[in-house]
Structure 1
Amino acid sequence: MNIPLVFGQALKRWRKARHLTQAELAAQTGYSLSTIRKLESGVLRPSRQVARRLSDVLQLS
């Protein structure tokens, strides 16, 4: 199982469910648009800190 890819697919679903663009999610998290794109495409594996911040912004916890 490719964890970054699975996480990225889930991140994209959660973001779209909140009607956010990648740019809006980047602005709300403080991460760059490039980072959000890399996370969603599975190129970048999120740290716990990044996953926690995304979870907070997307109201998953």
Structure 2
Amino acid sequence: MAIKGGKEYLIAYSVAENKTYEREIAAFTSLDNSRAKVLITNDEIDFSTSTVKHIKLKDFLLMDEL
């Protein structure tokens, strides 16, 4: 978990393995859609879904805000 600009974000090193991806995405299932669901990893592949936005860690660190 990371906090930037007063917002909370989930960070995982990599979700390239199926089991890891499923575990990390499951963390969002208890959140309602009023909260932004952002997954931050070192992966180059875009793991975004219709409800979860994937951001590369290096891009996240350079951003002022989402």
TM-score (norm 1): 0.29
Higher relative contact order (CA 8 A, sep 6+): 1
Greater share of strand: 2
TM-score (norm 2): 0.27
